[in-house]
Amino acid sequence: MIIAFHESTPLVDNLSNPLRADKISPTRANDAIRLPTSAEQKKVQKLLQQWPKSLKLTTPIPPNCRTVVVKQHFDPILNPTSIRSFPFLWKSVDIYRSPLPFREIDSLSTQLRSDNLLFPLHFHAIFVGFGPDPDQLHRSILSEITKLTSENSKCSSNYTLSVTLDLGSRCLRSPTSSPHSSSYRCGSITATDFVQNDDVAVDERLASVFGRKTKEYSVAVVKGGSERAVVGKHRHAWMVVDDGSEVEAAVVKVAELLVKVFINGGRDEGSIRNEFMPVGADGKIVLSFNLLNADPLDWVYDWDFEKIDDALLAPMIEALGPVANISVESQVLYHTPKASFSYWNQKLESYVFSTRDLPFFVNSNEWHLDTSIAAGGRSKILQFAVYVPSAKECPLLLQLPNGVMSKTNGFTSPMWGGVIVWNPQGCLKDSEFEPSAKNIIPMQDLENMFEVFIGQLRQLFGFKSANVYAGASGDWNLLPSERGFTEWELEVLSRQQACFNLHSCATTLGSLSRLVQSLPRMIIMDEIGKQVKFSLEAAKLALSNASSGVYESSAASSSQARSLAEDAFFHPSIMSVSYYSFEHCFAVYSPFFLPVSMHVVLAALRELRRYKQEKAKYLVWKAKANTPS
């Protein structure tokens, strides 16, 4: 920048700072001022004529002014280099936050909170040998169902009912018949089909009549024959009544079956408590089977676990696939005594431990029920143990509170697993086993034990181990399935698991949304954004499948939605930030910035004081310049 000034005339350097030639220090004068050439003097005069206002000259330039060239000086704040580097500085301190769909999260939470999740259920009642009034039967059954149905704040059933009177040659149907019930052919069910007492054969016969792929719960009421009520392995049941039975009693029993069994799963309290279902947050279950040899000095037993896994566990795991992803592990342990005491019963000629000792039976110090690394995380681990007692306490029996010996000789522990005490066959006799000899548990005993384990797993899922449902209007025999769970039981689990997973997913995503919005300096990685996005997509798919009656797909999608929501909420990148308080930030960075800030404040005060002094000098000079000489 070229500036012209007189020795006694102040000008403005860099458009703002007053500069006097007599105030220039020798160092700055030698460095910043030099005498111009004649060409430069002409150039200066021309520039001053073109932009006099931009230079803000305080007085006109006298004819005898001395023109010099002063080096250009820039304000550090307005330096072009600083301005160009500002975006890079802003980028270096920017916090990356992957965009999250907050509106969709709020919409999902609002939808599940305001509208109950409804699962469509289609019921079909068929009466064989009764009077011709299907409309009256339809109203009576609906009235009884309404009395038995309890309102659930989270999930409920949107059921429809069809009633058909099978008169042999023709059928009378209720006005509100579903498409599934209209496919029933008249005369397909007769009283002669129920004469035989083979319930398994009757179950397969009804399965062929109603169709295995039909998503409809059917119950057949037949007049004539010995009275019995049976619930099959599929989605149907039948009830045989004598000729003198009244239709009102049959209506009450049918309504109780539809609500208490097909909707609630046969539980007395009405619904399975999903919070206590043995399924992990990631939708996985690890079944850990342990063979415990209390004292290997007496005998050592092993088992053929692979055969029993293929024969009994594999079909059950496949059946429970929509509800949970199940994996199986096994191990054999030695030197595993129990923690409780038993006493000798001379009458039974065996050692007995009562139910009062059950809380102390599991020896946590000696039973190292370890699992593989794959069983970590948020998976639910269920322990099932076969306890082989030592010779000093064999045979060992479990006594129930009523004084009767347990038939299974085992017990369950909620949310932990189950234990079975297996007594070797020769433990009462003079031992024919060599010390430390390795023996194999007979396959028949092993199958019996694992059937008990499957029953214990059913109890952990909330079902009864007994094959009888004792209702207020009468008992129903429940046919067991070779897979451990019947089709209607699996659908009960699918509906209730889908309901719980969807509400848990909405709660987790809502908590994540509030956490992210409350911490604006939190880093949100792209992985978290993708997990939230996929979780919402899976939740929407689960809702669509639930409203369509596809319970298995709804349970699988809801489990995936909950797992992704949990992964996003507990992501390692935000776990530390979740507990990162402002006080901690202040305590960490104050030792670094407080000393620097003190120097900055002192320098600012010093510059302010200098500015006031220079301004006062300038005002004095201006007053002198305006005063006429």
Please state, in angstroms and rounded to a whole number, the distance separating the CA atoms of residues 534 and 567. 11
Please state, in angstroms and rounded to a whole number, the distance separating the CA atoms of residues 345 and 338. 19
pLDDT of residue 77: 44
Please state, in angstroms and rounded to a whole number, the distance separating the CA atoms of residues 218 and 254. 10
> Residue 326's closest CA among 315, 337, 341?
315
In the block, tokens 């083979």 appear at: 198
219 Cβ neighbours under 8 A, 6+ residues apart = 123, 124, 125, 126, 236, 237, 238, 239, 254, 257, 258
pLDDT of residue 7: 41
CB 361 within 8 A of CB 322: no
pLDDT band at 210 (very low <50, low <70, confident <90, very high): confident
Burial class (CB in 10 A: 0-12, 13-18, 19+), 419: buried
Write out pLDDT tens, residues 480-496.
888 889 999 999 999 98
Please state, in angstroms and rounded to a whole number, the distance separating the CA atoms of residues 587 and 585. 5
Residue 274 has pLDDT above 70, yes or no: no
pLDDT of residue 348: 83
pLDDT of residue 90: 62
Residue 239 has pLDDT above 70, yes or no: yes
Q: Bridge partners of 291? A: 332, 386
Please state, in angstroms and rounded to a whole number, the distance separating the CA atoms of residues 495 and 489. 10
pLDDT of residue 605: 92
The tokens for 105 are 């999260």
Write out pLDDT tens, residues 91-145.
655 677 888 899 999 999 888 887 778 888 899 998 887 776 788 888 889 988 8
Write out pLDDT tens, residues 604-616.
999 999 999 999 9
Ranges 157-161, 344-348, 557-561, most confident: 557-561
Write out pLDDT tens, residues 418-437.
999 998 877 755 555 555 56
160 Cβ neighbours under 8 A, 6+ residues apart = 120, 121, 122, 123, 176, 178
Please state, in angstroms and rounded to a whole number, the distance separating the CA atoms of residues 56 and 419. 97
DSSP structure string for 538-552 = HHHHHHHHHHHT-HH
Write out pLDDT tens, residues 287-339.
999 999 988 888 889 999 999 999 889 999 999 988 888 999 999 999 888 88
* Cβ atoms within 10 Å, residue 96: 8
Write out pLDDT tens, residues 503-558.
999 999 999 999 888 887 778 888 999 999 999 999 999 999 988 888 889 999 99
Q: Bridge partners of 412? A: 418
| 108, 125, 468, 518, 538 from 117: Cα distances, Å | 12, 25, 30, 30, 16
Burial class (CB in 10 A: 0-12, 13-18, 19+), 36: middle
337 Cβ neighbours under 8 A, 6+ residues apart = 294, 295, 363, 366, 390
Instruction: Give, for 351, the enclosing helix (H) or strand (E).
Output: strand 350-354
pLDDT of residue 204: 87
Cis check: omega of the bond before 395, within 30 degrees of 0: yes
How high does pLDDT run on average in the chain?
A: 79
Write out pLDDT tens, residues 253-265.
999 999 889 988 8
Burial class (CB in 10 A: 0-12, 13-18, 19+), 173: middle
Residue 460 has pLDDT above 80, yes or no: yes
Residue 589 has pLDDT above 60, yes or no: yes
> Residue 442's closest CA among 458, 418, 419, 426?
426
Q: Lowest-pLDDT range, 30-39, 147-156, 349-358, 492-501? A: 30-39
Write out pLDDT tens, residues 57-70.
444 544 444 444 44
pLDDT of residue 626: 83
